[in-house]
Chains A and B, each alone.
Chain A
Amino acid sequence: NAGVTQTPKFQVLKTGQSMTLQCAQDMNHEYMSWYRQDPGMGLRLIHYSVGAGITDQGEVPNGYNVSRSTTEDFPLRLLSAAPSQTSVYFCASSSGLEYNEQFFGPGTRLTVL
């Protein structure tokens, strides 16, 4: 199993550009989530999903959209990038029975100029 994969690993955007961060898991996990981590800080929950077709907002959802059309994929869309969105983005997944035990991807390091 590849586990949780994220692409790209690095990305530089200009203010106002949009892009999609990809996240996929091959463990048939129901629960998926997106976090951001600013330098020297803890992780903050952006959006999460408890299954295909179901998404909900986390702590810091503004400026981001998500969708969950399949169990495997959970893309995160930045609508109009801002310098404040410069961060490392982590995707995670877990099974419905043990959703507290999340498996994290390697992260995407995003810089917005």
Chain B
Amino acid sequence: LAKTTQPISMDSYEGQEVNITCSHNNIATNDYITWYQQFPSQGPRFIIQGYKTKVTNEVASLFIPADRKSSTLSLPRVSLSDTAVYYCLVGGDSSYKLIFGSGTRLLVRP
């Protein structure tokens, strides 16, 4: 199982772009990279998923370099409501075990 490493916490201010990087050196060929967001007292919520290069949706962008050993979740113009814990997961056809790491606690300040 590919293990992921993320910063424990990050601080930002409203209106700024936030980039959270995840390291996954042992990612398997068939693994996808998935990011979740979790607010206090709620279950995690799927944000975005990608395999390579760049993926963008209405919430975030995901950048994946060619070697796929890391990925960066980009949140444009964060607001106070983006304060949450963000988890990076890797998984795919090689394993149905979806393992969450420790996550990155993002605090957005006014």
**A interface list, Cβ under 8 A from B:** 4, 31, 33, 35, 41-45, 48, 50, 56, 58-59, 90, 92, 99-107
Contact = CB atoms under 8 A, between A and B. Distances in A.
B96 A45 contact: no
Interface in B88-110: 89, 91-92, 96-103
A35 B100 CA distance: 9
Contacts of B36: 102
B96 A42 contact: no
A25 to B, nearest CB: 13
Contact of B103 (A33, A42, A100, A101): A42
Interface residues of A, dominant DSSP: strand
8 contacts: A42-B100, A45-B99, A45-B100, A100-B89, A103-B46, A104-B43, A104-B44, A106-B43
Contacts, number: 60
A45 B97 contact: yes
Contacts of B46: 101-103
A48 B45 CA distance: 18
A59 B99 contact: yes
B44 A50 contact: no
Interface string B45-72: 1100100000000000000000000000
Contact of A107 (B42, B49, B87): B42
Contacts of B92: 100
Nearest to B44: A104
B100 A100 contact: no
B91 A100 contact: yes
A65 B95 CA distance: 21
Contact of B49 (A31, A50, A100, A104): A100
Given A41-B102, A42-B87, A42-B102, A104 B97 contact: no
Contacts of B89: 100
B98 A42 contact: no
